[in-house]
Amino acid sequence: MVDDLIRARWEKLTRLRELGVEPYKDGFSVSHSLKAALAEPDGTPVRVAGRLMTLRKFGKLAFAHLQDGSGQGQVSFQADLLPAAEMEQASKLLDLGDVVGIEGFLWTTRKGEKTVQTERFALLSKALRPLPEKWHGLKDGEARARRRYLDLIANEATREVFLRRSGIVSFMRRFLEASDFLEVETPMLQAAASGAAARPFVTRHTALDRDLFLRVAPETYLKRLLVGGLERVYELGKNFRNEGIDASHLQEFTMLEWYAAYWNYRDNMRFVQDLVQSVVREFCAGTQVRFQGQLLEFGGDWPEISYVEAVQEATGIDVLEHSTRESLAAEVQARLPDVDAAAYPSLPALVDGLYKTTVRPRLVQPCFLTHHPAELVPLARRSSTDPRVLDMFQVLVGSWEIVKGYSELIDPEEQYRRMSDQRDYRASGDEETMMTERDYIECMEYGMPPNSGVGLGVDRLVALLTENETLRSVVFFPSLRDDRREERLVVESLAQSGESGDEET
RNA sequence: GGGCCGUUAGCUCAGUUGGCAGAGCAGCAGACUUUUAAUCUGAUGGUCGUAGGUUCGAUUCCUACACGGCCCA
């Protein structure tokens, strides 16, 4: 059965067609955005277009608000200024949600509101489904994520989040380009899931008759470009990790990575701090951001915290004293009976698990976490002063890792050994490991310049700077389970109910 | 994977200690030339997430499942 609301709209559509009005036009010549139009003096002729959001009818007079990309603005219809047929259409056949084009002139109402007085109007696109409620908007989180377009129509705050997201991305591009970084694109379909310890998505390349992996990171391809002589490159794009979903993890997420030849991790720490502080200055009032009930201070030099020392402080365990999973697991069992060491299948998984459960929740204010144990990241350079740790840093904000960077490992022989270790961890059951990439090591054998690279989680940064507590809220269309609602299309319902366009009255 | 919470009209939400299902907005019919959450009159609109069970009777209680959320691993 066709819903009454939809049937009423369908009948109007049918009536319009009977009157010779095409309800789905091919375009409309717009002279002003609503915002620009309403800034013009009274009497100015304008052509505006937008979605009908409100309609207040007074017999021979009507007021409406249209919404376009610039915001909302009032338009009016008066019987004595419009052709009779168009006044009839405006008052009888329009529905909230319809997209209309209006030709008219500016005037100011008695209440002082700038308004476009309609002289001619055209229905540009008929809406068959009703919009969310005009006052409360669309609140249901699932509906907002599944039908983001309705969220964008109904909730101004949602539009602002995504406009800010686009602004931040654009700003970071300009920032990198001002420092002579070249934007590049590298494969999302990769022969080996490399560049991060993560479980990949697998897909099938039919023409090449082989399996490929959706990239978990662009890292090794960007460093191949450094070998090729492109000294500063960046890539902004999606990565895919086939792992758990929560407030700070999406399986498809946006990463900004850059690499600079001849920089080390210290150079990148300065650069990252400058970049993030510049973004905060540009998009937030001042240097502070409110996030999960806390005030985060991005200004000044961020403190540096040693990974190993922080874990030792929190647990009493010096992870560098252990070279095997079994040895570390024994000490964890003895000191931290609450931690289930057996749940972590490899040495790096156990070290990382200790850090995530005991240290990371405490790292709220922006800080650098540095010098991670060497087995955690196979692509990072060991520290010259202590080869048990890496010349590496992460930026943590609100207990979220938003940046990871290091001096890159450029020694092919050591790279081979380190990748082999990953294979061993995988053999012991750790599914979040990096695959060996012989191509990449071959490339390193030609000589890779010393360099440092950084990956910045764009979704996380945007969530922080828009005061959203989950990444889902800053991604237009997050992945969800199948929608089990038996929602029929309007066009199918009408067909099955025996409706046709010429039996209406 | 485990625990808890939620799912009622197109939207936002009430409600039923188990007994005819409620409001506002939207929609429908009508009035109205200065409204802006317009107003007024009238008539509408529901498989109470899905499937079972208990019961004279289930939207309400029980079980399973689906989807979503939060917390834990």
What confidence tier does A338 reach under pLDDT thresholds 50, 70, 90?
confident
Contact A74, A89 (CB under 8 A): no
Residues 223-262 of chain A in contact with strand B via CB under 7 angstroms = 244, 246-247
Residue A241 has pLDDT above 60, yes or no: yes
Q: CA A398 to CA A296: how far, in whole Å?
A: 8
CB proximity A490–strand B (7 Å threshold): no
* pLDDT tier, A502 (very low <50, low <70, confident <90, very high otherwise): very low
Per-residue pLDDT, A485? 63
Task: Indicate left, alpha or beta for A266 from its phi (over 0: left) and psi (-120 to 50: alpha).
Answer: alpha
Q: What is the mean pLDDT of residues A386-412?
A: 97
Q: Tell me the mean pLDDT in the region A352-374.
A: 94
Non-local CB neighbours of A208 within 8 Å, separated by 6+ positions = none
Predicted pLDDT at A495 = 63
Nucleotide B10's nearest residue (CA vs C1') is A130
Give the model's pLDDT for residue A494: 67
Amino acid identity for residue A76 in this structure: S
Nucleic strand B contact set for A 308-367 (CB, < 7 Å): 340, 343, 357
Query: What local confidence, expressed as pLDDT, does residue A330 receive?
Result: 92
The 8 Å CB, 24+ separation contacts for A175-181 are A175/A275, A175/A278, A175/A279, A176/A234, A176/A258, A176/A275, A179/A232, A179/A271, A180/A232, A181/A232, A181/A233, A181/A234, A181/A258, A181/A260
**Interval A168-191 mean pLDDT:** 97
| Whole-number Å distance between alpha carbons of A206 and A448 | 34
Residue A340 has pLDDT above 60, yes or no: yes
Nearest nucleotide (CA of A94 to C1')? B27
Measure Cα distances from A121 to A39, A56, A124, A417 in Å.
Answer: 21, 17, 9, 72
Question: What's the Å distance between residue A81 CA and nucleotide B27 C1'?
Answer: 28
pLDDT, position A489: 78
Q: Please name every residue paired with A104 in a beta bridge, in sequence order, or none if there are none.
A: A46, A118
**Statement: residue A247 has pLDDT above 80:** yes
pLDDT score recorded for residue A292: 85
* Cα–Cα dist A148/A478, whole Å: 10
Q: What's A93's DSSP letter? A: I
Whether the per-residue pLDDT at A349 is higher than 80: the answer is yes
Which CA distances in Å does A262 have to A377, A408, A451?
Answer: 20, 10, 5
Indicate the residue type of A244.
G
Return the structure tokens found at A37.
Answer: 């139009």
Question: Do β-strands A294-297 and A288-291 pair in parallel, antiparallel, or remain unpaired?
Answer: antiparallel
Q: Which of A267, A170, A196, A260 shows the shortest CA–CA distance to A222?
A: A260
Phi-psi region of A195 (alpha: psi -120 to 50; beta: other; left: phi over 0): left
Kindly tell me the burial class for residue A446, based on how many C-beta atoms sit within 10 Å of its own C-beta (0-12, 13-18, 19 or more). exposed
Q: What is the pLDDT of residues A12-57, one digit of tens each?
A: 999 999 989 999 999 999 999 999 999 999 999 999 999 999 999 9
Mean pLDDT for chain A?
A: 92
- Supply the DSSP string of A247-295, one letter for each residue: TTB-SEEEEEEEEEET--HHHHHHHHHHHHHHHHHHHSSTTEEEETTEE
DSSP state of A320: G
Over 60: is that where the pLDDT of A1 sits? no
Residue A429 β-bridge partners:
none
pLDDT tens readout for residues A303-336: 999 999 999 999 999 999 999 999 999 999 889 8
Kindly state the average pLDDT of the residues A69-79: 95
- Can you tell me the distance from the alpha carbon of A185 to that of A345, in angstroms, rounded to the nearest whole number? 35
Model confidence at A497, in pLDDT bands (50, 70, 90)?
A: low
In this complex, the nucleotide whose C1' atom is nearest to the CA atom of residue A109 is: B34
Please give the structure tokens belonging to residue A291. Answer: 């996030």
Check residue A77 and give its pLDDT.
95
Rounded to two decimals, what is the model's pTM?
0.93
Mean pLDDT, rounded, for A489-493: 75
Of residues A412 and A286, the one with the higher pLDDT is: A412
Percent of chain A with pLDDT over 70: 96
CA-to-C1' span, A212 to B15 (A): 55
Does any strand B atom come closer than 7 Å to the Cβ of A204? no
Q: Chain B positions under 7 Å from a protein CB?
A: 10-13, 24-28, 31-39, 44-45, 66-73
Q: Return chain A residues 432..471 having CB < 7 Å to nucleic acid strand B.
A: 469-470
Residue A388 has pLDDT above 50, yes or no: yes
pLDDT at A88: 86
Q: Which of A267, A241, A211, A229 is nearest to A406 (CA)?
A: A267
Confidence of residue A505 (pLDDT cuts 50, 70, 90): very low
Q: Find which nucleotide's C1' atom is closest to A9's CA.
A: B27
Give the model's pLDDT for residue A248. Answer: 93
Distance in Å, residue A486 CA to nucleotide B52 C1': 21
Size (chain A), residues: 505
pLDDT tens across A281-292, in order?
999 988 999 998
Dihedral of CA A111/A116/A118/A123: which sign? negative
pLDDT category at A134 given cuts 50, 70, 90 is confident
Query: What is the structure's pLDDT at A197?
Result: 85
CA A423 from centre of chain: 32
pLDDT for position A492: 75
Average pLDDT over residues A198-209: 93
* Distance, CA of A468 to CA of A364 (rounded, Å): 16
Predicted confidence at residue A503, as pLDDT, reads 33
Report the pLDDT averaged over residues A234-242: 95
- Lowest-confidence pick of A38-47, A167-176, A316-325, A428-437: A428-437
Mean pLDDT, rounded, for A469-493: 82
pLDDT of residue A499: 44
A443-453 average pLDDT score: 98
How many whole angstroms separate alpha carbon A217 and alpha carbon A377?
A: 13
Smallest Cα–Cα separation from A63: which of A126, A117, A137?
A117
Percent of chain A with pLDDT over 90: 78
Q: Where does residue A498 rank: exposed (0-12), middle (13-18), buried (19+ CB within 10 A)? A: exposed
- Segment A190-207 mean pLDDT: 91
- On whether the CB atoms of residues A336 and A364 are closer than 8 A, the answer is no
- Interatomic distance A488 CA / B60 C1' (Å): 29
Q: Beta carbon of A484 within 7 Å of strand B? A: yes
